[in-house]
């Protein structure tokens, strides 16, 4: 495997990235003479690209990204959350033992003397660290920021090694299931607001999962590892998961089959009622506690008007180790759910749950703060919105410029500079070409291409008469106004549109 | 140096950070029994803190930070800039040789297999990489993001190892000094808009610096290293800089003295005119080119109405290696400039310049895109705004909640849940206590503490009569309204306030 022109070997990393189509190999494909080739070889001793699993966001993408983030953040604020920011990296020891199986996927910083550091893996552990460090007993906070995971970026579309998470969490000792229900309500508000089509939120409880494992005969020492197998059920068939449980994790086949029976269950409040009466599951006090809470949760969800969006799903496990109670995961359904028909999931876009003992892991006295929260996966949503816009052909403006200052004649640079400064002084978004003597046509083209609504035109005649032309780019209508009423006239037009 | 209670040694890192007061040593100061002490020692085998030179931003700080960023970004948009985002880390080879002397200060990632990566050091080099990678010949973009530098964080107040930069750059081949003047105009708009007091923007040109070195007798091979000494003039006296030039950099004393003569010069357009006639400096063609551009620049600055804010300062060098033309740096003046009195600088808050050959370093064919831009240092500004707010006692709201849903009686949780869902449905920002049966007083306190303007109160009497109470928290006035007109009434009140 080599570079197209200079025939140097390309590392395996570069190849993977190339296949994923988010890189650019900095070599020209044109034929080169041997002298050119030699120079070229010297110059291109590197491939110009972004690191594997990361990407730039272009101006077009930034506009889409910001629209999505605005909707998410305004929902968080509607629910009274405060903002928080934490560093991109933490002391390595702060992150150790919080993610169990996934710990190998952390980005570590090089030991350059001083502290050992790792890039944050999520926003939840830094939040717990913040609470413990500041001895906060309660807090409703949101945080939006990048997190980094050294996963193979090829697995699923829209999965990167650097990605943005939007988190909302409620920390504090409260009456059961009220904050939990609000988290689910927030997920519904955001997913409805983003108009991504129909969605479903799967709910379960870690205590129900553990109780189910216990009554199925899983040894307690294997709870976490079997849980992480079960977590793969959205990507693998039950047969493959069963195989992993038996062959790799050493479960007895009949134990796996008992689990296999439960993981098929999904439904609403009536399923909760049924499970209370399940002869095997009802043997587990832990499972009964979980079911008790789920029952209450479903009642609150009904009052919140979102019970139809939520489904108890015994196959839901959630990979992260820190969950202790209710867990949930939102999936988009490819087409609107139709009664009696199977709907196909296109993957998880938001998830979360209750983690009641994470803060204690940071507190030297073991003081604890129960927490519940959710995380919105922006990349997946971004991918879907982008696809939708491509299909609909919707155009986005990448600038907000309102007025363009133009001239059809030479020697008007100084006048244009004075006019544009006047507009900026008035807070008007304005641009002009950085040329001494531009021709009129490129100035018109610039406005049309950038969708700038208004154009101010100054020329010799206008200057002599103390007037100026104002042109609507879309309608091509021009009016001549007094030079001194320029700002007022533009502000009037902008406020009307 | 040890921990207060468990007597374990604290690393030098931890001590430095503690002195800087942005950490928290997670040990209780209370007296402990020997058994407690043992448990404590086991538990506190770590110090709970953020990495050296980094910090969390609390909700209060986030509000201030967002206000500052909003003002900066809206200025960038007023000038027609497009948004861009790049990854937090780049391939190490992309960053190598771009910062010369400062290169040791980069955060490298650990080699965990695959590519060698470093955290970005600024937003300029990633922008140049983006332009080259996408073969863009022109672009006006802004970018806001964190950058990381392994500097000793103790040097200057408000200097961190992780900090936020706001960059605006204009890439493309244009007529001279028009984009450069706009960059200075943007710096003025932002610094005026933030109301940080009087400021001054020092301007120079790398060609004038190099020309000055040449005519003073600095060997060409020492231009860059002497330049980086000169860059320290805002932190060190001329005597110390001179000593460094002579003793460390090996300049002849008379050469250093000639430089010492020039670096005292500062002034406006008239200084430019004088320097044209300077018998020594006018020997340098390079310096004359720089002066020619500075003359034009000052003319445009006058048309932009900001010439009085700009001062040509021959001591300005700018440390970064990639600048090729005009350079500038904004400093805040401690008190409003008074005629005839010396004003004291409190440090640089924004800086930038022209870098015409950086993009070519990324382009395999050496194609170039001239660029000019600026970077706003948010931490320093943030520190000043925070100090100002502390002095004035100004309070900030950390949430935007508009309505609180309360009850004075037991058994109204379900009713409160229904009401709050109705408010959320209408887009109203609403909160309630997560308690089944809260007492009225804590609910009132919550509203007062969080500055929530409106309170909805539901009780038995109200429910029986189909009404609800609406209370203004500030005036304590209560009105009883029909239950079904609740949302409309709240929206009316919110639109009026």
Q: B365–A63: do the CB atoms touch at under 8 Å?
A: no
**Helices of type H across A44-199:** 59-78, 92-95, 124-133, 178-193
Question: pLDDT tier at A215 (50, 70, 90 boundaries)?
Answer: very high
Let me know if residue B331 belongs to a domain. Answer: yes
Check residue B339 and give its pLDDT.
42
B429 neighbourhood in chain A, CB within 8 Å: 77-80
Torsion sign (Cα): B105, A126, B397, A368: negative
pLDDT-wise least confident of A14-23, A54-63, A362-371: A14-23
Check residue B324 and give its pLDDT.
94
B146 neighbourhood in chain A, CB within 8 Å: 88
Q: Do A35 and A153 reside in the same domain of the chain?
A: no
- As a whole number of angstroms, the distance between CA B474 and CA B478 comes to 11
Q: Do B367 and B431 reside in the same domain of the chain?
A: no
CATH code where residue B236 lies: 3.30.930.10
Q: B304–A421: do the CB atoms touch at under 8 Å?
A: yes
Question: pLDDT tier at A199 (50, 70, 90 boundaries)?
Answer: very high
Interface of A with B in 75-104 (CB under 8 A): 77-91, 93-94
- From the list A176, A222, A34, A215, the residue with the least C-alpha distance to B413 is A176
Q: Do A376 and A238 reside in the same domain of the chain?
A: yes
Instruction: Identify the bridge partners of residue A470 per DSSP, sorted by sequence position.
Output: A456, A479
Check residue A157 and give its pLDDT.
54
Residues B81 and B168 sit within 8 Å (Cβ to Cβ): yes
Highest-confidence segment of A225-239, A270-284, B227-241, B327-341: A270-284
For residue A21, give its domain range. Answer: 1-49
Q: Do A366 and A308 reside in the same domain of the chain?
A: yes
- The residue of chain B nearest to residue A170, with distances taken between CA atoms, is B434
- For B271-293, write each residue's pLDDT tens digit: 999 999 999 999 999 999 999 99
Check residue B321 and give its pLDDT.
76
Q: B56–A86: do the CB atoms touch at under 8 Å?
A: yes
Check residue A458 and give its pLDDT.
97
Residue where a domain terminates, one of B391, B418, B443: B391
Query: Is B36's pLDDT higher than 60?
Result: no
- The DSSP annotation for A443-460 comes to HHHHHHHTT--EEEE--H
Q: Residues near A471 by Cβ (< 8 Å), separated by ≥ 6?
A: A454, A455, A456, A457, A477, A478
Let me know if residue A350 belongs to a domain. Answer: yes
Question: pLDDT tier at B394 (50, 70, 90 boundaries)?
Answer: confident
- For A391-448, write each residue's pLDDT tens digit: 999 889 999 999 999 999 999 999 999 999 999 999 999 999 999 999 999 999 999 9
Let me know if residue A102 belongs to a domain. Answer: yes
Check residue B95 and give its pLDDT.
85
State what percent of residues in chain B have pLDDT above 90: 73
Q: Do A340 and A452 reside in the same domain of the chain?
A: no
Q: What is the dihedral of CA A7, A11, A13, A14, to 10 degrees?
A: -20
A13 neighbourhood in chain B, CB within 8 Å: 114-115
Residues A310 and A337 sit within 8 Å (Cβ to Cβ): no
CATH code where residue A417 lies: 3.40.50.800
Q: A77–B400: do the CB atoms touch at under 8 Å?
A: yes
**Mean pLDDT value across residues A483-494:** 96
Residue where a domain terminates, one of A391, A421, A447: A391
Of B55, B82, B178, the CB nearest to A399: B82
Let me know if residue B397 belongs to a domain. Answer: no
Q: Do A178 and A99 reside in the same domain of the chain?
A: yes
Query: Is B48's pLDDT higher than 70?
Result: yes
Is A172 within 8 Å of chain B by CB?
yes
Is B249 within 8 Å of chain A by CB?
no
Let me know if residue B396 belongs to a domain. Answer: no
Let me know if residue B456 belongs to a domain. Answer: yes
Of residues B139 and A18, more confidently modeled: B139
ipTM for the predicted complex comes to 0.87
State what percent of residues in chain B have pLDDT above 70: 85
- As a whole number of angstroms, the distance between CA B457 and CA B104 comes to 62
- CA diameter of chain B: 96
Q: Do A99 and A6 reside in the same domain of the chain?
A: no
CB pairs under 8 A between A and B: 277
Burial A293-313 (b: 16+ CB within 10 A, else e): bbebbbbbbbbbbbbebbbbb
Q: B48–A133: do the CB atoms touch at under 8 Å?
A: yes
The single-letter DSSP state of residue B471 is E
Is B397 within 8 Å of chain A by CB?
no
In the numeric block, which tokens belong to residue B60? 């209060």
Is A449 within 8 Å of chain B by CB?
no
Strand, helix or coil at A473? coil
Distance (Å) from the C-alpha of residue A253 to the closest C-alpha of chain B?
Answer: 38
Q: Do B84 and B211 reside in the same domain of the chain?
A: yes
**Distances, alpha carbon A153 to alpha carbons A105, A348, A405, B424, in Å:** 12, 16, 46, 37
Q: Do A152 and A88 reside in the same domain of the chain?
A: yes
Residue to test with chain B: of A5, A71, A434, most B Cβ within 10 A: A434
Let me know if residue B479 belongs to a domain. Answer: yes
Helix H or strand E encompassing A228: helix A223-230
Query: Is A24's pLDDT higher than 60?
Result: no
Residue where a domain terminates, one of B345, B367, B391: B391
Check residue A96 and give its pLDDT.
80
Q: A54–B87: do the CB atoms touch at under 8 Å?
A: yes
- As a whole number of angstroms, the distance between CA B160 and CA B17 comes to 11
Q: Do A332 and A468 reside in the same domain of the chain?
A: no
**Mean pLDDT value across residues B70-96:** 96
Tally of structural domains, chain A: 3
Mean pLDDT of chain A: 87
Query: Is B360's pLDDT higher than 50?
Result: yes
Check residue B32 and give its pLDDT.
40
- For B22-31, write each residue's pLDDT tens digit: 223 333 333 3
Helix H or strand E encompassing B496: helix B486-496
Q: How far apart are the first and last CA of chain B?
A: 56
**Mean pLDDT value across residues B446-468:** 97
- For B256-269, write each residue's pLDDT tens digit: 999 999 999 999 99
Let me know if residue A182 belongs to a domain. Answer: yes
Query: Is A112's pLDDT higher than 80?
Result: yes
In the numeric block, which tokens belong to residue A236? 């693998």
Q: Do A164 and A279 reside in the same domain of the chain?
A: yes
Q: How many other CB atoms sit within 10 Å of the CB of residue B445?
A: 11
Q: Do B153 and B194 reside in the same domain of the chain?
A: yes
Check residue A19 and give its pLDDT.
28
């Amino acid at each position: 495997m080599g570079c197209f022109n200079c025939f140097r070997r390309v590392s395996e990393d570069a190849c993977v990235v190339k296949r994923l189509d988010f890189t650019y190999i900095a070599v020209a494909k044109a034929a080169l003479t041997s002298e050119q080739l030699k120079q070229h070889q010297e110059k291109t001793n590197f491939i110009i690209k972004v690191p594997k699993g990361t990407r730039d966001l272009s101006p077009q993408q930034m506009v889409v990204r910001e629209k999505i983030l605005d909707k998410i953040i305004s929902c968080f604020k509607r629910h009274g959350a405060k903002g928080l920011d934490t560093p991109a990296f933490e002391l390595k020891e702060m992150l150790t033992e919080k993610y169990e199986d996934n710990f190998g996927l952390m980005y570590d910083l090089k030991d350059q003397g001083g502290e050992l550091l790792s890039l944050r893996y999520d926003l939840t552990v830094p939040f717990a660290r913040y609470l413990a460090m500041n001895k906060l007993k309660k807090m409703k906070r949101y945080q939006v920021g990048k997190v980094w995971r050294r996963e193979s970026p090829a697995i699923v579309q829209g999965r990167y090694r650097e990605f943005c998470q939007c988190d909302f969490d409620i920390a504090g000792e409260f009456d059961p299931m009220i904050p939990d229900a609000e988290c689910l309500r927030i997920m519904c508000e955001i997913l409805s607001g983003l108009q991504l089509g129909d969605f479903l939120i799967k709910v379960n409880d870690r205590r129900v999962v553990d109780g189910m494992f216990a009554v199925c005969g899983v040894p307690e020492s294997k709870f976490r590892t079997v849980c992480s197998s079960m977590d793969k059920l959205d990507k693998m068939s039950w047969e493959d998961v069963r195989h992993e449980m038996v062959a790799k994790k050493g479960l007895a086949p009949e134990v796996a089959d008992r689990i296999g029976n439960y993981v098929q269950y999904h439904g609403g409040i009536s399923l909760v009622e049924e499970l209370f009466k399940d002869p095997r599951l009802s043997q587990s006090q832990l499972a009964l506690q979980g079911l008790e809470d789920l029952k209450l949760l479903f009642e609150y969800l009904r009052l919140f008007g979102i019970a139809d969006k939520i489904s108890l799903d015994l196959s839901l496990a959630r990979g992260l180790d820190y969950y202790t109670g209710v867990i949930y995961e939102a999936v988009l359904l490819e087409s609107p759910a139709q009664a009696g028909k199977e709907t196909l999931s296109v993957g998880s876009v938001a998830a979360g749950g209750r983690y009641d003992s994470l803060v204690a892991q940071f507190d030297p006295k073991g003081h604890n703060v129960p927490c519940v929260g959710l995380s919105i996966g922006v990349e997946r949503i971004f991918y879907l919105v982008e696809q939708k816009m491509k299909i609909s052909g919707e155009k986005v403006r990448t600038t907000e410029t309102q007025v363009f200052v133009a001239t059809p004649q030479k020697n008007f640079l100084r006048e244009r500079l004075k006019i544009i400064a006047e507009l900026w002084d008035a807070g008007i978004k304005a641009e002009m070409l950085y040329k001494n003597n531009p021709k009129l046509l490129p100035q018109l083209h610039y406005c049309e291409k950038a969708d700038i609504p208004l154009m101010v035109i100054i020329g010799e005649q206008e200057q002599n008469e103390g007037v100026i032309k104002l042109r609507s780019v879309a309608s091509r209508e021009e009016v001549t106004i007094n030079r001194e009423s320029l700002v007022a006239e533009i502000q009037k037009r902008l406020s009307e549109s």
